[in-house]
Amino acid sequence: MSPSFSWLGGLLLVKILATLGPSSSSLEMLRKLFYAGADGFRINMSHASI
């Protein structure tokens, strides 16, 4: 398993993981999260069903 952050040439590289749920289920919100710097997404299914 790789660390969630690492040093590269004196720069701290951080990965941002966004959780998707009822308040972030619209395409507009996904775009906002992506452009804000989210590197990956996880789906919170505790409040919804497939």
Kind and range of the H or E element at 13? strand 11-14
The pTM assigned to this predicted structure is 0.61
Q: What is the pLDDT of residue 32?
A: 94
Strands 5-8, 40-43: pairing is unpaired
User: What is the distance between the alpha carbons of residues 49 and 35, in angstroms, rounded to a whole number?
Assistant: 27
The answer to whether 5 and 14 have CB atoms below 8 angstroms apart is yes
Distance of CA 44 to the CA centre of its chain: 12
Number of domains in the chain: 1
pLDDT top residue among 3 and 1: 3
Does 46 reside within a domain? yes
Does 31 reside within a domain? yes
Domain that holds residue 44: 16-50
User: Each residue of 3-32: pLDDT tens digit?
Assistant: 555 666 666 677 899 998 888 888 999 999
Query: Is the predicted pLDDT of residue 1 greater than 60, yes or no?
Result: no
Does 47 reside within a domain? yes
Does 33 reside within a domain? yes
